[in-house]
Amino acid sequence: MEVMDFNEERHKEMNTDGQEMHKNNDKKPQKNSPLRELFSWIFTFAVAFAAALLIKNYVIINANIPSGSMENTIMPGDDVIGFRLAYKFSDPKRGDIVIFWPPTDSKDPYIKRIIGLPGEKVTIEPEEKEVDGATIQVGKVYIDGEALDEDYLKPEEWDASVGPYEFEVPDNCYLMMGDNRNGSSDARAWLEKGLDPYVSKDDIIGKAVFRYYPFNRVGTID
């Protein structure tokens, strides 16, 4: 009877596999040419640049605040980001802080808070209020006859020269005012200059959503 040596067969297979592996290891990886490497970097930078351009022009707006018209919510020198797509599928809401083109000949956009919505009657009247033990005249905003609660304002930000003003907000338009009522060029100033005091939805660039500088006040904006 013939007996096969299986151990010998396994040994041969191992030797054969080992030789094949050795042959494969002898193959050196192909190197990219310098020109191909250069084109790869150029393509990467081009894609990154195009993406950044699209985001800047169609998704976000970067704004530096030059004045104190929105104190103390937003301070001079703050850098904020606005979201351009905020109102593509919804309407602006009262209290939103928005970046928009004003009805003046300004080459730069403004940033204010939305106070009046389309179809509303907005009135601003002076009223007496006690502040630090003294009676002063401050301004009060009414929406369709109801007082508007504005907890983002300091009472002393208003003085006696606040009106009265009366606005009837047209369709597809909004009434804008700054939080620093004594230092803001907004619907009141535009009305006094004989300009259209309202801002159409088409002139709203985006909603201010985030402050990224200064670093000690980084956070969302409301």
Q: Which residues are catalytic?
A: 69, 112
Residue 126 neighbours by CB under 8 Å, 6+ apart: 137, 138, 139, 140, 158, 160, 162, 163, 164
Torsion sign over Cα 54, 60, 89, 103:
negative
Cα(127)–Cα(6) distance, integer angstroms:
106
Q: Are 124 and 165 in contact (CB under 8 A)?
A: yes
* Residue 174: strand pairing partners: 199
- Three-state DSSP state, 30: coil
Phi, psi values for residue 179, rounded to 5°: -70, -30
Phi, psi values for residue 143, rounded to 5°: -110, 115
Q: How many CB atoms lie within 10 A of CB 149?
A: 8
